[in-house]
């Protein structure tokens, strides 16, 4: 094997320990794995631990208006807002849903989120019939703030045109949108 200098070995050991600490902390605070992800960067003399929670999650497609969707193999699309959007809105206190059975077109308003800062319209990323709304959000709208990609989803749609999914922003394209807006 290749011999490493002592500072590089120490940097590697510190990075591993910091990563373990960060993951243990997320479990102690009852965060879902996607709610707070930690990445540790190690340099020979500088160490940086940073949260990547506002970065777009893989496996999702996005609208420029900060909605996400994931498409299941059965054609069911789950829709929510991105972590960036929930951070900008602040504490969400009320969710207005569409009716189950309602048909929505891509880009059409599907609901409203109200926070302590503002109210925001939410748009459907793809066309489809609403098959389910996340009823947990009626009593616990803060789930959107805690975990927008898992327990904070808004609605499920039976996609009428699954090809629309491919026209949505990839995580990489959405990152570029976020960089432009900062």
Apex 82 CA angle, 78 and 88, nearest 5:
145
Query: Which residues are registered as beta bridge partners of 61?
Result: 69
pLDDT digit string (tens) for the chain, length 182 residues: 444 444 444 444 454 455 455 544 444 444 443 333 343 433 333 333 323 345 677 889 999 999 999 999 999 999 999 999 999 999 999 999 999 999 999 999 999 999 999 999 999 999 999 999 999 999 999 999 999 999 999 999 999 998 999 999 999 999 999 999 87
pTM over 0.85: no
């Amino acid at each position: 094997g290749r011999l490493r200098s002592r500072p590089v070995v120490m940097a590697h050991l510190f990075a591993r320990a910091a990563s373990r600490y960060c993951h243990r902390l997320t479990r102690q605070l009852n965060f879902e794995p996607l709610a707070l992800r930690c990445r540790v960067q190690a340099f020979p003399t500088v160490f940086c631990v940073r949260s990547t929670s506002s970065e777009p999650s893989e496996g999702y497609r996005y609208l420029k208006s900060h909605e996400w969707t994931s498409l299941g193999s059965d054609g069911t699309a789950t829709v929510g807002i991105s972590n960036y959007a929930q951070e900008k809105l602040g504490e969400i206190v009320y969710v207005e849903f569409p009716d189950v059975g309602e048909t929505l077109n891509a880009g059409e308003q599907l609901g409203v989120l109200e926070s302590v800062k503002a109210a925001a319209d939410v748009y459907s990323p793809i066309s489809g019939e609403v098959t389910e709304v996340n009823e947990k959000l009626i009593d616990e709208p803060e789930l959107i703030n805690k975990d927008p990609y898992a327990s904070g989803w808004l609605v499920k749609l039976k996609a009428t045109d699954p090809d629309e999914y491919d026209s949505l922003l990839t995580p990489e394209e959405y990152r570029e949108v976020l960089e432009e807006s900062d």
